[in-house]
Structure 1
Amino acid sequence: MKYRSAFDIIGPVMIGPSSSHTAGAARIGRVARTLFGSQPKKAVISLYGSFAKTYKGHGTDVAIVGGLLDFDTYDERIPSSLKLAEDAGMEIIFTIENTVTDHPNTVRINIYDDKKELEVVGISIGGGTIEITELNSFKLKLSGEHPAILVVHNDQFGVISAVTNIFAKYEINIGHMEVSRKEKGQMALMVIEVDQKIDQNVIAEIEKLPNVTQIIRMVE
């Protein structure tokens, strides 16, 4: 991985002893909450690799839950996040997994409320930098550092070009984009990260496109 600046190595302003195990974990939790769209009522947090071995000593547990409570990496409430989650009525379950993953700092977060559920897999790759690598079994690569939308759509001809044409119409530059699908002709997912804020009128126009079924917007 290439680092853009010294701060990617040193890490962000944060609560906790480790940029990878604490700041990165908090960011994964916060991106999961953002993708969910609200504070969940229940979270099952499955830890792998070094996350599983050191999560209490490095504050990975309180960091992830802090992220689910929408706390930033430097929020002084993070050490108390387990109690604050309990006070907020959020049920938290931690599981330790023995499966060997591609990256040692891996967490799977399943979050729920009365109407919806979401599964997110994230990795902390150093200096507080993260990647979301899986969303509801879709493989992807999402940093959470840039304005982004996730477009759920039917795998049909012309959908991708229709979406990118709307971005071109509004002169929005796409920095990263990828498409994944589970089966040909079935549900697919577009991940689009851009260089500037995505206005609501852009979202509304994409929502009206044929074969687009859902848009998940990352809050900038």
Structure 2
Amino acid sequence: MNIFDIIGPVMIGPSSSHTAGAVRLGRVVNKLIDERPLKKVEITLSGSFAQTYKGHGTDKALLAGIMGYKSYSPEIRDALSIANNRRISYTFKTENIKGAHPNTALIHYFLEDGSEGSMQGASIGGGNILVNRINGMNVEFNGDANTILIMHKDTPGVIASVTNLMHWEYESLNISGFHLSRDEKGGDAIMTIEIDSNPPEQLISDIRGIEHITNAILIRRV
């Protein structure tokens, strides 16, 4: 059981779902960006998020999380002006995302180096979140565990290479969750691996060195 389930999150703002959960969704994007300079974000809000985001400060909370602030950071109140000062362009729009949870945000980000990506997730209550799409592909994690996202080509042996590396070189790590998503057989794919403990950065470098893997990102607990 998450501590949020017992006492609720430590947070700035009126709503655990619309504020604390929104910050945590933004923080997932912050981890995906991995300290690279951010140029622009386009945020689509669906369901209840779309209806009440200004009154509940969801817009500020998402943007604060994207910039790396936490649910209890006082900077949340000034997130829009902070983003302006950092010359980060941002837009918010509302749209009914079919089949999405009522508190869903789709965040498309653009970096100074020309690269871009997207994350879709939902605030599901009590400050808890569920991330269900990265770069358009299905994933499933909640940010409560250290999570490794591995982008790769859907090629035989890639999963075995990753799990064998973790078993033989990092035997103290315990995998608590695994999910695989792919566009099509032989196409782009994403492995999502959740682990109980805090992995060393070297693990990510080692994974990136495996053939057919295009990138690996460690998302520490958000």
Normalising by the residue count of structure 2, what TM-score does the alignment of the two structures yield?
0.93
Q: Select the residue among 99, 113, 119 that pairs with 1:101.
A: 99
CA distance in 2, matches of 1:47, 1:118: 17
CA distance in 1, matches of 2:50, 2:134: 21
The question of whether the paired residues in 2 share the 8 Å contact of 1:153 and 1:213 is answered with yes
Could you tell me whether the CA contact under 8 Å between 1:178 and 1:191 is conserved in 2?
Answer: yes
The residue type paired with residue 199 of structure 2 is I
SS in structure 1 at match of 2:118? strand
Give the aligned CA root-mean-square deviation in angstroms: 1.4
For the Cα contact (< 8 Å) 1:148–1:218, is it kept in 2? Answer: yes
Alpha carbons of structure 1 residues 215 and 6: separation in structure 2 relative to 1, 3 Å = closer
Give the C-alpha shift of residue 219 in structure 1. 3.6
CA distance in 1 between counterparts of 2:2 and 2:138 reads 28
Aligned to 1:24: 21
Does residue 62 of structure 1 match 2:63?
A: no
> What is the aligned partner in structure 1 of residue 192 from structure 2?
191
Partner of 1:161 in structure 2? 160
Distance of aligned partners of 1:6 and 1:194 in 2 relative to their CA distance in 1, 3 Å threshold? closer
What's the % identity of the aligned pairs? 42
Aligned to 1:189, the other structure's residue is in SS state: strand
TM-score by length of 1: 0.94
Partner residue in 2 for 1:88:
86
Name the residue aligned to 2:207: 206
Structure 1 gaps of 5+ residues are none
The Cα shift of 1:10 comes to: 4.2
Compute the displacement of 1:150 (Å).
Answer: 0.8
Q: For structure 1, which segment, 6-15 or 150-159, has the greater mean C-alpha deviation from structure 2 after superposition? A: 6-15
Once residues 139 and 76 of structure 1 are traced to their aligned partners in structure 2, the CA distance between those partners, rounded to angstroms, is: 33
Asked if 1 retains the 8 angstrom alpha-carbon contact of 2:143 and 2:220, the reply is no
Partner of 1:43: 41
In structure 2, the residue matched to 1:34 is 31
1:121, 1:132 within 8 Å by CA — same for their partners in 2? yes
Q: Distance in 1 between matches of 2:175 and 2:196?
A: 7
**CA 1:211 to 1:131, structure 2 compared with 1: closer, same or farther past 3 Å?**
same
Q: Distance in 2 between matches of 1:110 and 1:74?
A: 24
Q: Which amino acid letter does the alignment assign opposite residue 212 of structure 2?
A: N
